[in-house]
Amino acid sequence: MKVLHAAETVKGGVATVLRLLTSQLKIYCENNAVLLVPEEQIDEMRGLSVRVETFRRSGRNPSSLFRFAVRLAVTVWREDPDVVHLHSTFAGAVGRVVLACMRPIRHPKVVYCPHGWPFIMKVDRVRQIAYEAAERVLESLCDAIICVSRNEQAVGLRAGLSAGKLAVIPNGVPIPADTAPWLPFDRSGPDWVDVLYVGRFDNAKGTDLLFSAMERLEHAPVRLIAIGAADDPRWTPPTLPNVTLTGWLNAEQIRSYLANADVVVVPSRWEAFGLSAAEAMSYGCPVLARAVGGLPELVIDGKTGLLFEADDPNVLADLLARTPRKRWLELGAHAKAHVAANYSADACIAATNDLYTRLLAAPRMVRVRTVGGAAAEEVQ
């Protein structure tokens, strides 16, 4: 079995998923994987023992999408993969059309993972209807669609997608065996709370909400380290005395921050799963998250972290101000065990490989069967 993973961009969670699925794929498959990623983002894939194909991407624009389509067609022609796994909306839309055109000469099984439906974003109703219609049309061009949470599956069903195509395979994370090196957090006292954010700076991720909350906490014993950057160069985060901006860091550097932060904040306005939350919890770090999308499935309110619903910086600031460090440590003690039991890397890899195997064994439609609270694919 040969698997081609193709992504139009790999910044953020997609890179983590690709590293996970390809770094250990040989454990479950008698093959190596092939990756197709943007040339300027190839550093995200360093250290993997798989072949990497690239295309030139200058942004999310027609010329870059065309180059992705051409390189995908060339790679599929040359590699003749058994499975093509398309990651995220734009790769899924362009890739499914390309692969449909190639079916007379190449016919791999096509797996699509949206990593968050485009129609759950805060857009006007006309665009939402258009996105839903596009996904309904395109689902006929793939063999299975992976939803990373039960919420994402439910949203897809409400949009009119076929139950037989949707499989729930939650993202998984490796469980660290040791503690990362200590970082020199500049605590002024034992009660200072070190808050961490990891991800893009944009409206969907709620970073404006977080920075507004930190403005209200200027004199509180709370400090934020924000790892990431804005995709839009016109957006600049405010300069605050209690906020440290690091820019994008590599996985090893982020590991040290996760191992030593008191709490990770995920203020997203929509989130299919919440990979940064799962990664934080794997280090025993609790999560403070918006109760949106798949996050309430991952973060158990009052046990592995805290949830809030209001799109209000005052609510977020109040939770950070009145939750002492001791409380975060108590919540973190449960977080690691919860992730290890329900969202391990091995479980995610095995379920994904099982889906590939089932699709190749029986080329007919598949349906979802529930196993231990999650869902996997079963051939009819």
Span 46-84, pLDDT tens digits: 777 788 999 999 988 999 999 999 999 999 999 999 999
What is the pLDDT at residue 379?
42
Long-range contacts from 124-127, C-beta under 8 angstroms, 24+ separation: none
Q: What mean pLDDT, rounded, does the chain reach?
A: 88
3-class secondary structure, 46: coil
Per-residue pLDDT band at 1 (split at 50, 70, 90): confident
Residue 34 confidence (pLDDT) above 80: yes
Q: What is the mean pLDDT of residues 236-249?
A: 91
Per-residue pLDDT band at 348 (split at 50, 70, 90): very high
The pairing of strands 374-379 and 366-371 is antiparallel
The CATH code of domain 193-342 reads 3.40.50.2000
Cα–chain-centroid distance for residue 363?
A: 29
Which residue intervals of the chain bear CATH 3.40.50.2000?
3-172+344-379, 193-342
With pLDDT > 70 as the criterion, what percentage of the chain qualifies?
Answer: 89
Q: The pTM is what?
A: 0.86
Alpha carbons 234 and 194: distance in angstroms, whole number: 28
pLDDT digits (tens, 9 = 90+) for 146-201: 999 999 999 999 999 999 999 999 999 998 876 656 665 565 567 899 999 999 89
- Answer whether 352's CB lies under 8 Å from 146's CB: yes
Distance in Å from the first CA to the final CA of the chain: 22
Top pLDDT among 14 and 168 is at 168
Strand partners, 288: 265, 306
Reply yes or no on domain 3-172+344-379 having CATH 3.30.1950.10: no
